[in-house]
Amino acid sequence: MKAIALTTDEFTHHLDHLAPLCALENYPVQTDCPTQYQFLKEYYPMVQVRYAPFNFHQLTEEFDTFIISTKDARKDLQPLIKSITKKRIRFIFCPHGRSEKCEIDPMSSIYQHQDIALIYHKNQINIFKQLGIDTTINEIRLIGDYRRKFYDQNRALYDKKTALHVQTLFAKPQPLVLYAPTWDKNSTFNTFTKQLIDHLPDHINLLIKVHPLLYKHQAANVIKHTAYEKDNCSILIEYPPILPLLSKALYYLGDTSSISYDFLYEEKPLFFVKGKEK
């Protein structure tokens, strides 16, 4: 298999899933987005990165498999590529969050139109069966927690970057609490952030990790909340590596973000904020 990962646009949160996989398997990553290119060079220097438009004639000459984290890429692009190049490229779907989160419809259906779908844990197979998803229509590969393996192999590098880019956001070193809300209708960012900051004890540092899509869709609200920042509170808008942040946090606070699955490994307390009633 000759594979390359493709990523584009504002999906910087995909990098922390695609880049570790490509680093471990020695696959290149290509992006046409300058921001993604900068982040890949800064935070994943061990990965071979290409910065160029997606020329499918050229790509299909070199590769037979595309790795993507965009759920509809295979459905939308495979017919187009075949019509342009007369070649059928396989698509591997690499989820950009814990696959168990896809227990919630309609997210679970994304696995039904992939050539190959990667999952973290065999428990996802049981979820598929409970939801009536036919797992024989494509290939499902169990890959385990490869991001943890990648972080463990590169811990010194990422701990150094976290100290440089994150810990310096605060006036002094103190126990760190991480609040990482999701971005969609279940997000608690707009309803909970100011209250959280107002009641923040002086002896705690609070890091609010904003989802990139929350900033894209609600930039004004995110910027408004930065006005509430204190010496011991900071809003972090762009920082792709998640596991280094989790390793430094004393507690995790969230809603429905799949980051909570990653934090379970730390064996530290997790607290959840309830979103608005549907």
pLDDT, tens digit (0-9, with 9 covering 90-100), for 126-183? 777 777 766 665 688 888 899 999 999 999 999 999 999 898 999 999 999 999 999 9
CB burial of residue 173 (10 Å; 0-12, 13-18, 19+): exposed
pTM surpassing 0.85? Answer: yes
Neighbouring-strand partners of residue 49: 29
3-state SS, residue 115: coil
CA distance 123 to 14: 23
Q: Which residues of the chain have pLDDT under 70?
A: 98-109, 133-138, 275-278
Which residues 6+ apart lie within 8 Å of 108 measured at CB?
A: 102, 127, 128, 131, 133
- Position 99 scores a pLDDT of 53
- Position 106 scores a pLDDT of 47
